Structure 1
Amino acid sequence: MKRGTSGSFGAQLKALREAAGFTQEELATIAGLSVHAVSALERGERRRPHVETVRALSAALDLTGAKRDALLGSSRALAHDAAADELTSVALPLPPTTLLGRETDLKILRRWLDEPSTRLVTLTGPGGAGKTRLALELARALTDGPTRVVLVPLAAIRNPAFVAPAIAEALGLSDVAARELPTRARLACGDRPTLLLADNFEQVLDAATLIADLLTSVPPLKMLVTSRSPLRVRGEREYAVGPLGLEGSSDTTSPADLVRSPAVRLLVERIRDVSPEFRLTPTNGPVVTAICRRLDALPLALELAAPWMKVLTAEDLLLRLEHDPLLSTATAPRDVPERQQTMNATVSWSYQLLGARERRAFRRLGALPGSFSIEAASAVLSGGDPSTTSEEALDVVASLIDKSLLLRAETAVAHRPRYYMLETVRAYAGLELGVSGERPDALEGLVRHCLNEASIAKQGLTGPAQAEWLDRVHENVENHRGGLTWLIERARPSEAVDIAWGLVFFWLVRGHSVEGLRWFDQILSLASVPPLSESKAMTGSALLWYTQGELARAREALSRALPLAQNGGDFSLVAQIEMIFGHVEHASGNLSEARERFTRAIEGFQALKIAWGTGSALNGKAGVALAGGDADLAEDLLNEATIALRHCGPWFLTPVLSFRATLALRRGKATEAMALVRESLTHLRELRDRASFVYALVPLAVAAVHVGEHVWAARILGARDAVSERTGGRVAVGVIHDLKVRAEREVKARLGSNVWDRAYDAGRRASIDALLNDIDRVLDKK
């Protein structure tokens, strides 16, 4: 996998766009694409640009000759990854700057990881030493070989219980409990060498036993961990990441020699970022070197000091550093390593130099556990009283970015910038927030933000911008976790349910049902949950239990939820309960009861003019008609469902397309079924919905059998099973399951074991592009 590498399509597109002077919005407008599409391509989230898309981008950028061919060539190079990889992998972040002074470290660590006996390497060192940057550079170098590299960012996670879901998501696994992770990870990795990079492990050290279990259970897995402390598990090799090199005598070395020192070079480059006219001279060279030495040549300390050169001379900065009591280690706790004392003191020194307004903003932003939007910043700055405007928040955020205390984050939604603090900086902000006594008020602001985001997410996740909203919620998930934790600790179930209820479709589509169930369970365990809140929590639990195949538990929860919703007069909730009931009864084989449930749901949704609900319930009833052999009724219902869902999110349309493909197969229209599956696959690729992908490929395999393409059918089934094993996706709908069983039996009988094995194994490695190209090939012949 080569996502995020310098030669990738996304990296090339971003470089060409910036060279042309375009924003993502401007390039999207000129090329006739959405901003979300351009952003996803640059970040590597959308990995299969169509040829027409690449040509439109080339024309918009006015590319000709070699540059145009290089961009087109890089897009074609992506087409070889297996479908399971495309649907589950996450890009390594692109480095904003060149890594300095770590060549020896990289050589040693690469040699360690090449040794078969080395399974776990932990990079240790104080905050600000550059552990994450070094680890990412090492991981990026490995992507050029056969090793699959998986990033697990843990900086925003405080609860060790969330480490297993984070690892599962990085490996592309859906709905995994911690006890299942080693077994599922073994299936996900197969025989392929895999490096899992777990970044910022120090605040979840209690999860170290999980790392040991994974290494024991998954032979091809190696782990690279960054942490201020070692994990202390068997087989761990610890590598201490020291400061940058600072060689030579500052009094006698020339500026040309001094700048060869990585620490001096880093400081000079960062000073030039804010003062382009700055030059290293024989006069200031010794002073700059002394600044680096005073800051122990720690990269983050140098980054934080550099912006002050806009208002101070090098001599003034050194004088402040030498005489400021905050940078004296004489009074620091004896059990804190000296370089960590320096790093903490540097952040403290930067904090004390801020104005009162900036200090207040800095410490309050420490209440946000993950990256955040301007709206979130405004909320925590205001606290319980929404008084700070987005413009005021943006002003203070810009000021903190200017001083390197905040950074701008990569985002999946180009027109919604996000920001974050490095973990060392956030930890200090959190300490200052606690001392100030403002933490409860700041967290009340976070809760207010989460409630508002969940409310509008509930609408966005059902609308046409569904893919964008899935990414938006994913980026905000750590803040939602923080808000939910605060509310549950304070026994406030109504607000907690409102947040959790707004995230249900995110948990469902992106394969986080286990986490959703955990939150609903915690809410329901609180005392005095209001009836309607209890009904919502029960309904959310039932939906997620259904996706887990726990039909009895889902039915029990729905039975409790329905009278509460009816008595509370929440008719939208009643309709949703009836629809989920319909799915549960259908999966249980109770077609008559399922039909009645879906009918009531349709009536309820239609009365309230809820389009996504109407279309989904119509589709559910169509599935019952198909199972009962009434093809004409099924077709009428599917036509109605398609009309109802025309302005809704594409996720709601994909099961309609699957049933329509199934219906076409029953009528002997294999090519029509293929065209419907093709449309479904394009939606699922954009949504990154692994579970539905497993469903969609079954009618395609049957269609291949119908047109005599048995080898292709074996490849399709191989691709389906590879995604299923990686993600845990299952086929629960009886109609689709029966199709798969019959198709697999017929193909095996027709091909024989040898041909079946070869074709099936090839399919497991097939890309989504290969699947789409095969559909086009067959359709073109008809």
Structure 2
Amino acid sequence: MTPRAGRIRTPDQRLRVFVSSTLQELAAERRAARSAIEELRMAPVMFELGARPHPPRDLYRAYLEQSDVFVGLYWERYGWVAPDEEVSGLEDEYNLAPTAMPKLIYIRHSSAREPRLTALLDRIRSDDTASYKSFSTADELGEYLRGDLATMLAERFDASRAPSPGGATPPPETRLTRLPSPLTELIGRRREVDELVDLIGTAGARLVTIIGPGGIGKSRVAIDAAERLQDRFDGHVAFVDLASATQPALVIAAMAQALGVRDTGDAPLADKVTMALGGRRSLLVLDNFEQVLDAAPLLSTFLSEIPGLSFLVTSRSLLRVSGEHAVELAPLAVPDADDVDDLPRLLAVPSVALFVARVRAVKPDFELTPGNAAAVAGICRALDGVPLALELAAARARVLGPKAMLKRLDRQLPLLVEGVRDLPERQRTLRGTIEWSTRLLGEAENGLLAQLGVFAGDFSLDAAEAVHAEMGGDADVLLLLGALVDSSLVRQRERDDVSLFSLLTTVREYALERLEADGTLEAARRAHAEYYRSLSEEMSSALTGRLQAESVRRLAREYDNLRAAIRYLIDAGEFDAAARFAWNLYIFWWVDGHLGEVRGLMAELLRTDAAISDVTRATALYYTRAIVFWQDPDEVVVPGLSESAELFRSSGDPSGSALALISLALALLSAREPDPVRADEALETSLGQFRDAHFRWGEAMALVTLGRVALLARKEHAALNRFEESLALAESERDDLGMAIALHHLGWAHLLLGAIDHARHCFERSLTVSAGLGHDEGVAYGLEGLAAIAAAAGDVERAGRLAGAATSLRERSGLYNAPTFSFHEAYLAPLRGSDAADTLAAAVAEGERMSSETATAYALAPEAAS
């Protein structure tokens, strides 16, 4: 299951599991499969709907190529056979799965199976690359899949430790490849990609900038070069999209997000990124840097502090810093008059090859012929070989033939280009082509395109509909978006079975200009902020309880827009609305790792000269004090949290007051002279306030903290009771975060009382829930707890690997600086002072090289035990 190059990549970048099944008859089973896959921090690839303009077969072929494991779910139906096809999509997916890809097949019991499905299953049973099991219920399937995937990862870990022919032991899998990979082939850029690979991989250049105008293909060339450079950097390659970064400070935040570094607010984010990148060779692709050129010195700082780091940057302008190597990207070559009469020669011209390939994506039967060759060549010349312009034109091939298209371009493009004379030549051509594309659309489509300019990064259909409605529109947004996607003006992709949309930077700039010209830019930005403000209200309650994991994923998909919305509210002086927005999403900021950024925003509210309400001040004090409760508690934190709790209480928000009191208690225990009596009083008050407010999540958190106080006082049985109460509340609410926290603490209470089996069960459940939630801190805690279990059992190698993996996860995800509630080091200490010290040290080193996913599977699989 070694990751392969040249594949579609999603932001989570986990091991990807392709799930093949019919859609309707196995809906419950698909949900169970998704849950099992996500609990092990893998990414489910579940093909649901065809995405324009790619035929479904091409789409699921591409998704298969970028997956690591094939999971087949079968019951009674064989599936629909499309016209001109001989097999159903279900069988075709199995046929297209690479031979070397591990295949896990699950067959639901049935006595009424369609004959063609029976024949397919008979063939699968004879396939020695596939394993299969029968099941009866969705829950049973989930258990099987969870165990099989964990075992598979554990086996991969064991295989990685097998001695090589030369006697060396290769390290476990630690690749961190986070690159998007488009469905289409890169055309006409081999020379430039080779030059970049030679510069970085051979000559050792550490800062290379690809420069060129918008739409020239810089991002795509950078991605292809980075794909080829993966092995030179041991797979540690990440793509950092700066399209939504509007100020230099956001560059570090974007880098952290791409690397999976959590901004917990307890240390400068730049330090966390440096820690995450230290001790390894890494390549970061920074895309759209022209928006944040003032941040260029920051790159020099990182390069000087991290010897193994290299940057590949795309920008419309040079960065002009020491050590920069520039590669300028020119337009694709266009045909000359002699090429037109020789079709093979004409098709070999890069601009023509690109245009024809993109036309075939929307019109599969298109062929270059003597009758259309001159028109195709004319189109490529008219568009100056600019790749994005060629793609925009090709998207029109469904309704315009080459001759009609060229006629329109000849008539309109010169006038449109003249209208943007303040831009460089190639950029004028592209902007003219965008304008030409929009003129082929209706008024409603153009209106929506302009409105979409206010979105930062990916956005959902719901968001687009809300902004459109707020701006007075009443059209069918889905229909309009379909037209914009078909015109290549809007990009569409699937994530978590949800359609997400985005605009390329150049198109977004054009859309914003249209809004400004129409005088509606401010109204559109307000509509955008209002949608996400309303979303924060809607999601506040969903972030506790059974919808928690789904809600965190939903918010994470549109994080750039959340950031833009709260930024708008602050800049507009709407401080109360901004604070409420921040408070509604507290659990999301925590789990997804953005508390540090929110802390900075709330600090702005405390510094403003404008009047703010008591509840806004309470919120700002909480965010700026609670997340660093152990830092300077006496002088700053305790007074600030005391004031926050009182302001929340007097403002009629008992839950806010109770949450502030929990952090106040932790700060009192961290003071130079700890005050456990006052801490206990604060926690009892907190518990009462949560109960009065009927807020069970908060009640569970207060109980856990009371248990922590008892455990630190060596009152293990009292602590056990508190933790069990907390777990019962979290389970009644089906709240993943609450369960993970309670289980972790319960594990330590059991272990300190000598109940090892109970402790192991708690730590394993906590780890599983945390991994499914994507909560890195909980994963680290789970690994540490199980390391203590292994150490107590005398399993030195297992204890060391798990402890090393936990340490590495904390360092790589920015969680290394905060105090932890873990006693695993006390269990490792006797081993460090024994004859097993060298074995332990070697195992720790192995664990430090394990990825989080591999470590989680190793910890949970019984076969992984030494």
TM-score, structure 1 as length reference = 0.89
SS of the equivalent of 2:286 reads: strand
**Residue of structure 1 in register with 2:85 after alignment:** none
Does residue 703 (structure 1) correspond to residue 789 (structure 2)? The answer is: yes
**Aligned pair partner of 2:618 in 519, 535, 541:** 535
**Residue of structure 2 in register with 1:223 after alignment:** 311
For residues 519-550 of structure 1, the C-alpha deviation after alignment (integer angstroms, 9 at most, x for no partner) is 11123333111122222232233332338786
**Residue of structure 2 in register with 1:136 after alignment:** 223
Distance 2:686 2:239 in 1: 42
Query: How big is the shift at 1:16?
Result: 6.7
**Residue of structure 2 in register with 1:195 after alignment:** 283
Query: How big is the shift at 1:5?
Result: 3.7
CA contact (8 A) 2:334 2:352 kept: yes
Does residue 656 (structure 1) correspond to residue 738 (structure 2)? The answer is: no
Deviates more, 1:581-590 or 1:444-453: 581-590
Alignment of 1:670-749 (within 5 A): 670-730=756-816, 736=822, 739-749=823-833
Query: How big is the shift at 1:673?
Result: 1.8
Query: How big is the shift at 1:292?
Result: 0.7
Alignment of 1:291-370 (within 5 A): 291-324=379-412, 329=417, 332-333=420-421, 336-370=423-457
Deviates more, 1:106-115 or 1:767-776: 767-776
SS of the equivalent of 2:208 reads: strand
CA contact (8 A) 1:127 1:228 kept: yes
Query: How big is the shift at 1:626?
Result: 1.0
Deviates more, 1:200-209 or 1:452-461: 452-461
Alignment of 1:113-262 (within 5 A): 113-144=200-231, 146-175=234-263, 180=268, 183-247=271-335, 249=337, 252-262=340-350
Distance 2:322 2:517 in 1: 39
CA contact (8 A) 1:112 1:118 kept: yes
In structure 2, relative to structure 1, the CA distance for the partners of 1:119 and 1:548 (3 Å cut) is: farther
**Residue of structure 1 in register with 2:597 after alignment:** 515
**Aligned pair partner of 2:567 in 485, 499, 512:** 485
CA contact (8 A) 1:382 1:442 kept: no
Query: How big is the shift at 1:515?
Result: 0.2
Distance 1:779 1:131 in 2: 44
**Residue of structure 2 in register with 1:401 after alignment:** 485
TM-score, structure 2 as length reference = 0.81
Query: How big is the shift at 1:692?
Result: 3.0
Distance 1:587 1:193 in 2: 38
For residues 455-477 of structure 1, the C-alpha deviation after alignment (integer angstroms, 9 at most, x for no partner) is 12222222223232222212212
**Aligned pair partner of 1:764 in 837, 848, 860:** 848
Distance 2:735 2:863 in 1: 29
Query: How big is the shift at 1:251?
Result: 6.0
- Alpha-carbon RMSD across the aligned residues, in angstroms, is 3.6
Distance 1:591 1:318 in 2: 80
Distance 1:127 1:600 in 2: 58
Query: How big is the shift at 1:560?
Result: 1.8
CA contact (8 A) 1:619 1:637 kept: yes
SS of the equivalent of 2:262 reads: coil
Does residue 563 (structure 1) correspond to residue 563 (structure 2)? The answer is: no
Query: How big is the shift at 1:162?
Result: 0.9
**Residue of structure 1 in register with 2:706 after alignment:** 621
**Residue of structure 1 in register with 2:44 after alignment:** 41
Amino acid at match of 1:707: A
Amino acid at match of 1:574: S
**Residue of structure 2 in register with 1:503 after alignment:** 585
Deviates more, 1:314-323 or 1:194-203: 314-323
Query: How big is the shift at 1:684?
Result: 2.2
Query: How big is the shift at 1:78?
Result: 9.9
Amino acid at match of 1:631: E
For residues 305-354 of structure 1, the C-alpha deviation after alignment (integer angstroms, 9 at most, x for no partner) is 123233333222112212215556456435x3211111111112222332
**Residue of structure 2 in register with 1:92 after alignment:** 179
**Residue of structure 2 in register with 1:439 after alignment:** 521
CA contact (8 A) 1:546 1:554 kept: yes
For residues 79-134 of structure 1, the C-alpha deviation after alignment (integer angstroms, 9 at most, x for no partner) is 5599x999995732231211112222222211111135310111111111111111
> Hey, which of these two has a bigger chunk of helix by percent?
1
**Residue of structure 1 in register with 2:751 after alignment:** 665
Distance 2:372 2:707 in 1: 78
Deviates more, 1:599-608 or 1:440-449: 599-608
Distance 2:658 2:199 in 1: 58
**Residue of structure 1 in register with 2:500 after alignment:** 418
For residues 500-519 of structure 1, the C-alpha deviation after alignment (integer angstroms, 9 at most, x for no partner) is 11222222222222201011
In structure 2, relative to structure 1, the CA distance for the partners of 1:275 and 1:730 (3 Å cut) is: closer
Deviates more, 1:469-478 or 1:689-698: 689-698
**Residue of structure 2 in register with 1:275 after alignment:** 363
**Residue of structure 2 in register with 1:638 after alignment:** 723
**Residue of structure 1 in register with 2:533 after alignment:** 451
Query: How big is the shift at 1:281?
Result: 1.2
The sequence identity of aligned pairs, in percent, is 29
SS of the equivalent of 1:750 reads: coil
CA contact (8 A) 1:128 1:299 kept: yes
CA contact (8 A) 1:271 1:278 kept: yes
Distance 2:216 2:8 in 1: 28
Distance 1:680 1:551 in 2: 33
Distance 1:735 1:480 in 2: 31
* Count of aligned positions: 768
CA contact (8 A) 2:8 2:180 kept: no
Query: How big is the shift at 1:48?
Result: 9.6
Distance 1:9 1:443 in 2: 30
Distance 1:550 1:307 in 2: 61
In structure 2, relative to structure 1, the CA distance for the partners of 1:617 and 1:275 (3 Å cut) is: same
**Residue of structure 2 in register with 1:599 after alignment:** 684
In structure 2, relative to structure 1, the CA distance for the partners of 1:418 and 1:548 (3 Å cut) is: farther
Amino acid at match of 1:349: W
SS of the equivalent of 2:829 reads: helix
Query: How big is the shift at 1:257?
Result: 3.1
Deviates more, 1:580-589 or 1:470-479: 580-589
CA contact (8 A) 1:3 1:92 kept: no
**Residue of structure 2 in register with 1:392 after alignment:** 476
> 5+ residue gaps in structure 2?
47-62, 74-101, 109-116, 133-144, 162-170
In structure 2, relative to structure 1, the CA distance for the partners of 1:278 and 1:714 (3 Å cut) is: closer
SS of the equivalent of 2:43 reads: helix
CA contact (8 A) 1:591 1:628 kept: no
Amino acid at match of 1:704: A
In structure 2, relative to structure 1, the CA distance for the partners of 1:775 and 1:750 (3 Å cut) is: farther
Does residue 580 (structure 1) correspond to residue 663 (structure 2)? The answer is: yes
Amino acid at match of 2:770: L
SS of the equivalent of 1:33 reads: helix
In structure 2, relative to structure 1, the CA distance for the partners of 1:89 and 1:574 (3 Å cut) is: farther
Distance 1:392 1:597 in 2: 53
Deviates more, 1:292-301 or 1:678-687: 678-687
Query: How big is the shift at 1:746?
Result: 1.7
For residues 604-625 of structure 1, the C-alpha deviation after alignment (integer angstroms, 9 at most, x for no partner) is 2222221211111111111111
